[in-house]
Amino acid sequence: MTQTIKHGLPAICMLLTLLTNVAAQDLTASEIIQKADNQFNGEESGISEMTMIIERPSWKRTVEFKSWTKGTSYALTLIKSPASEKGQTFLKRENEMWSWNPSISRLIKLPPAMMSQGWMGSDYTNDDILKESSIVDDYIHEFAGDSVIEGRSCYRIRMTAKEDAAVIWGHQVRWIDKKDFLFMKAELYDEYGYLVRTENGSDIKMMDGRLIPTRIEMIPEEEEGHKTILIIRSIRFNEDIPDNFFSQQNMKRVR
């Protein structure tokens, strides 16, 4: 009996692997993007603490911040360092975006035109941090082949902006790990089809019960020596955050 079980185990493992692969192949490109987005941001919400390192040919700068997000409608980000910008906050609530600067006690509404501008002097845009656009809802998703990134077999998915979507990028190409639905790489193109920047995910760790890339390098295509590195130091998923947490009043007191 023991010998029979021993010989049967490899066959069972192979069958389970085959069933898993078949199930993954049944997913549409849009469903894969949705799964990857949920894996990284949380199905309902996320609370994260991050370090951002901005590298330029002649200098380097570090920004530490904490972010709260809830779905695609709400986001609040608090700058924790450097000291000169500590306490500054950014808020997205539905279709409105605001910044609060405690040093001058000024609340500023951010117009949509500012979404493509660099956030805190980095290679990330205001849209990246405040999540004005949605990679799930604002793009048409199509399979574009398979690739291997850092030893992980990945779907290659092309994302073309919908005609009525208020997005920065004309199209994107994203590489999604087939097993754990991790964002491993992204290429972002402007409306004319020129590559503007590349993102690479690495240093995959278990955080709050799920695997995610905890180091993301953002590299502009035409700015030699420019790079922004985002390091996720902690993250909690699907916490109960009330909608009224994301308010102008809370921008001034959140810590």
In tens digits, the chain (255 residues) has pLDDT values of 444 444 454 454 444 444 444 445 589 999 999 999 999 989 899 999 999 999 999 999 999 999 999 988 899 999 999 999 999 999 988 878 899 999 889 999 988 777 778 888 899 887 777 766 789 999 999 999 999 998 999 999 999 999 988 888 999 999 999 999 999 999 999 999 999 999 999 999 999 999 999 999 999 998 999 999 999 999 999 999 999 999 999 999 998
C-alpha to C-alpha distance for 25 and 19, rounded to whole angstroms = 10
The Cβ of residue 110 has, within 10 Å, a number of other Cβ atoms equal to: 18
Q: Answer whether residue 117 is part of any domain.
A: yes
Bridge partners for 64 per DSSP: 51, 81
Q: Answer whether residue 159 is part of any domain.
A: no
What predicted TM-score, i.e. pTM, was given to this entire model?
0.82
Task: Give the dihedral of Cα atoms 201, 205, 209, 210; nearest 10 deg.
Answer: 30
Q: Answer whether residue 157 is part of any domain.
A: no
C-alpha to C-alpha distance for 103 and 84, rounded to whole angstroms = 9
- Domain with 64 in it: what CATH number? 2.50.20.10
Give counts: helices (H), strands (E), the chain.
Answer: 4, 13
Q: Answer whether residue 50 is part of any domain.
A: yes
Domain total for the chain?
1
Q: Answer whether residue 56 is part of any domain.
A: yes
Are residues 174 and 166 in contact, defined by beta-carbon separation less than 8 angstroms?
no
Q: Answer whether residue 109 is part of any domain.
A: yes
Q: Answer whether residue 181 is part of any domain.
A: no
Q: Answer whether residue 97 is part of any domain.
A: yes
Q: Which domain holds residue 35?
A: 29-143+197-251
